[in-house]
Amino acid sequence: MLKMYLKQFKIYNIGFYPMSENSKISLEQQAINIVLEEDLEKKTLLAHKTAKEWFSRSLSLTRGIAPALPKRPGRPSKPDLLPPRQMPKRTITGEKGRLALVHSLAHIELNAIDLAWDLVARCARQAMPRAFFDNWVQVGLEEAKHFNLLDERLKEMGSFYGALPAHDGLWQAAEETGHNLISRLAIIPLVLEARGLDITPPMLEKMRAQKDDKTAAILEIIYRDEKRHVAFGTKWFLFACKRHNLKPEQTFHEMVRRHFRGSLRPPFNDKARSQAGLTPGFYKPLAGITAVN
């Protein structure tokens, strides 16, 4: 059953959605436009505009022939993208360390924008409840908010996004899981975003210890929203497993071993993970286990 599902997304007729007949462009197309946009100010503005139109129910889900999905997100010429292993070691002590941290977080949030909207576009022609799109449009909107907050913080610190190198590992995860919904949900919200729940509270404490209250305030917003994003991921992962008669924990373990390049590293923020519905049976059996490639 699992191998059959992994071959491809199954496409359904989703005409039962109430749609705006006057809409000249669809949520599906706008999501693709967001991913492809190279100008980051325009990318975040389009994310806000699209979310507003979707939640006001003035935007159709799909329209006409299915557009081609993006292979790569639009990006400015900087930062230079390096393999993760070639990235310089990061510290968060001192002004340079804090600047490097904020830059790294901005890069993560930029990728998170594209990951959320890519998921919306990929699922637009599947038979998914409207709540699925509501949830992931909200995620895409909040990731744009996070990037804007961090981008503005970089400017306040005398720098800008693109001033330092960054790695391309997050979009590699998107490429690795682009063929099916279950693997995408397992790796992006339930591994990568859940990792943010583990590491953000210690970062917050260090920012406060260095009297960087502005960065700490941004981290608090991101941490609060990430709990919701992981909760959305858990909800729809369980939904997809139930739809295909799969055992959730076993399926999650298979997906992580197959698609995640690395291992799940403790310590885990068990409380925050559990609040998001991600119970220890999902992740603790995988602690320290490297994926089989």
Say how far apart CA 235 and CA 132 lie, in whole Å: 9
Q: Give the number of C-alpha atoms closer than 13 A to the C-alpha of residue 109, restricted to the C-beta side.
A: 28
- The CA-atom distances, in angstroms, between 141 and each of 124, 173, 219 are 17, 21, 17
Residue 177 pLDDT: 84
Residue 289 pLDDT: 55
Residue 5 pLDDT: 34
Quote the tokens at residue 201. 């509270």
Say how far apart CA 147 and CA 113 lie, in whole Å: 8
Quote the tokens at residue 108. 């993560």
Quote the tokens at residue 246. 């799969």
Quote the tokens at residue 63. 């329209």
112 closest CA partner among 150, 77, 139: 139
13 φ/ψ angles, rounded to the nearest 5 degrees: -80, 120
Say how far apart CA 281 and CA 272 lie, in whole Å: 15
Residue 160's region, left for phi above 0, alpha for psi from -120 to 50, else beta, is beta
| N- to C-terminal Cα separation, the chain | 21
Averages of pLDDT over runs of 10 residues in the chain (293 residues) are 37 37 81 97 98 96 92 91 73 83 96 96 95 98 98 97 87 80 96 95 93 96 97 98 97 94 89 96 84 41
- Residue 182: CB atoms within 10 Å: 23
Say how far apart CA 110 and CA 34 lie, in whole Å: 11
Residue 30 pLDDT: 97
Its pTM stands at 0.89
Alpha helices in the chain, H assignment, sequence order: 2-6, 27-36, 40-55, 94-123, 130-156, 169-176, 181-187, 194-209, 213-243, 248-259, 270-275, 280-283
Residue 173 pLDDT: 76
Residue 205 pLDDT: 94
